Amino acid sequence: MSTENKSTITVESTIHAPVEKVWEYWTAPEHITQWCFATPEWHAPEAQNDVRTGGKFNTTMAARDGSFSFDFGGVYTDVKEHELIEYALADNRKVRITFSAEGNNTKVVETFDPEDTNPLEMQRGGWQAILDNFRKYTEAN
């Protein structure tokens, strides 16, 4: 069931891996660069992550053809290992990610404030595609 309202968007996925592995693959820069993009035409050539309350993160997302890139980053406002990550993006939008262990599976739910430029469905689709890419990468490794 979605907890979505007009001011936030929620995406979710169940990953067939224990929460400890899911947390590691979500937070370790060497893993982030392997999954943090929505389509095969993109990649994440660089990631930095200080996953603690007050820590900062930054992931460079880039078109593989070199035509465009941008940095996705912010500051963690609350981190509870294997359970919760909350952060504020550079433009002050808020993101909340919960990790729920369900036996050898982990449910990941991301709720975020949308930006004003792109349609909500496009934003939902992009974030869901990245989460699906994370699930595929984590389950395959």
- Interval 27-85: pLDDT, tens: 999 999 999 999 999 999 999 999 999 999 999 999 999 999 999 999 999 999 999 99
Q: In the structure encoding, which two tokens stand for residue 141, read together?
A: 């490794």
Tokens 């947390």 appear where?
Answer: 23
| pLDDT average, residue stretch 18-22 | 98
- Where in the sequence is the domain holding 26, given as residue range(s)? 9-140
The CATH number assigned to the domain holding 80 equals 3.30.530.20
At 4 the pLDDT is 43
Do 86 and 77 meet the contact criterion of CB atoms below 8 Å apart?
A: yes
**Does some domain include residue 119?**
yes
Quote the number of domains for the chain.
Answer: 1
At 6 the pLDDT is 58
φ, ψ (nearest 5 deg) of residue 132: -65, -40
Task: Work out the number of other CB atoms within 10 angstroms of the CB of residue 80.
Answer: 11
| Mean pLDDT of all residues belonging to the chain | 95
